[in-house]
Amino acid sequence: MTLKDNLKAVKTELSTEEQFIEKFIKSERFIKKYKFYILIILALILLYFAITFIVDTLKEKNIKESNEIYASLMNSPNDKAKLAELKEKNLNLYVIFLMSKLSKEPENKELLAELSSLYKDKNINNYLKNILALDLNEQSFFLKDFDKLLEAYKLLEEDKIEEANILLSKIKTDSTLEQIAKNLKHYQGIGQ
């Protein structure tokens, strides 16, 4: 009985080894057959990671340089060379610097003209563009309800109650300014 068991064990072991060798040969044939494509895929993956690393490194370097230029401009705000360098490196940070300068010198016509021209630039971040619109007294996407509220207030001061009512009705019910709009309607005797 033990001889039969031993033969069965040897048979199963041989069949397992045969299957392993068979799979190894099949995989070797597959690799030989598609070796060129496999190498191209591996090269593309390596190229992707290399390019991603280089781009991230360059972005990080640009951010660091832009921040250094901005910090030096905070110490000497009239340095024209640093200002031009900041404009070239990081337009958004350049706009932020000009806006901070405008807050200190609100009547500076050159600064207003520069910011007005930058407002039309498509490379500026949309959120920054909306903040810039507020500084330039332009229409802002973020504060459109606030703009309506201010316009309605001006109309109420001119006793144009119906026009103000129409404008205040355009403020959405989920707006944080809705209660103020209702108060303005109530204050002027406009029915709700």
Closest CA to 190 of 182, 106, 9, 68: 182
Query: What is the pLDDT, as a whole number, of residue 150?
Result: 81
Output the pLDDT for position 42: 95
Q: How far apart are CA 102 and CA 108, in angstroms?
A: 7
CB atoms within 10 A of CB 101: 17
**97 in Cβ contact with 86 (< 8 Å):** yes
pLDDT, block means (10 residues), the chain with 192 residues: 70 75 84 91 96 96 90 86 88 87 80 82 80 70 71 82 82 74 68 44
63-90 pLDDT tens trace:
899 889 888 888 888 888 988 898 888 8
* Main-chain phi, psi angles of 103, to 5 degrees: -65, -25
pLDDT number for residue 192: 43
In this prediction the pTM is 0.56
Q: Which residues contact 35 (CB under 8 A, 6 or more apart)?
A: none
Q: How many residues does the chain have?
A: 192
Helix, strand, coil % in the chain, rounded to nearest 5:
80, 0, 20
